[in-house]
Copies of this chain bind each other. A is one copy, B any other.
Amino acid sequence: LFLARLMHRSVLTAQEQSAILALPTRAHIYAPREDIVSMAQTTKHSCLVGEGLAARFAETASGNRQSIALHIPGDMADLHSVVSPKVVTPLQAFSRCLIYEIPHPALRRIATEYPAIAYSFWRDGIIDAAIVAQSVLNLGQRKAPARIAHVLCEIATRIGAVRPKTFSFDFAISQPQLGEVVGLHAVHVNRTLRKLKTEGLAVLDGKKATVLDWPALIERAEFDPAYLQMEPLDFHKPLP
């Protein structure tokens, strides 16, 4: 699973691939709303999402929560903890989650041994950061309907569920949780979802999302998938 994600983003040789497949893992199940990684601790492993929906969080002193990043199956939610083990954004399960823990020493070992793996880890973090950067744009400049539409477009694209016009995909998120993602209150999320439905764009039922008109939805969201950087980069070729 992790290998597939990495190879979406970087080119790896057979030897490097088997080094990754040989990584030790420990499976864990988390209930909805349960913390996977808590604040203020120092981690010794990274978390690969196997099933479910997880999110990285931040909160203000007054207790308002904000989701920083959503993580779908295949995401290495905190690969960054290898080089930044002090937790500054906790990780929580949105729905029931299957998590594979991979110890830092093993990750450090293969990154030191194979430079291309080190680069692929680095690149993975950079692309995740580019996704977070887009949500700065989303929160800073878009109004509620476009904001929610953009999240739907991004998840649909990352999951690989996109079809020409109509399709569904797993998106187990409640309206209050979606509010934490888009920086809106639950009540307003509800009204905005109604609007998207009556406009014939998309529907969300708490378990899955249904896109009714993909071209219209991406237009409403002003969605351009370039920032997801879907083409793998090859670190074996020397640069000019």
Judge if A115 is at the interface, Cβ distance under 8 Å.
Answer: yes
Residues of chain B lying within 8 A (CB to CB) of residue A222 = 60-62
**Nearest neighbor of A140 in chain B, beta-carbon distance:** B183
Task: Give this chain's copy count.
Answer: 2
Judge if A83 is at the interface, Cβ distance under 8 Å.
Answer: yes
Residues of chain B lying within 8 A (CB to CB) of residue A68 = 133, 136-137
- Comparing A21-29, A157-165, A226-234, the segment that makes contact with chain B is A226-234
- Comparing A12-20, A46-54, A84-92, the segment that makes contact with chain B is A84-92
Q: Is the CB of A84 within 8 A of B123?
A: yes
- Given A119-B83, A130-B84, A229-B86, answer yes or no on A183-B64 (Cβ-Cβ < 8 Å): no
Interface residues of chain A, those whose CB is within 8 Å of chain B, are: 44, 56, 58-62, 64-66, 68-69, 80, 82-86, 88-89, 104-105, 108, 111-112, 115, 118-119, 121-123, 125-130, 132-137, 139-142, 182-183, 222, 224, 226-227, 229, 233, 235, 238-240
10 smallest CB-CB distances across A and B, nearest first, come from: A140-B183, A129-B129, A83-B123, A61-B222, A58-B137, A105-B239, A139-B139, A66-B140, A64-B141, A122-B122
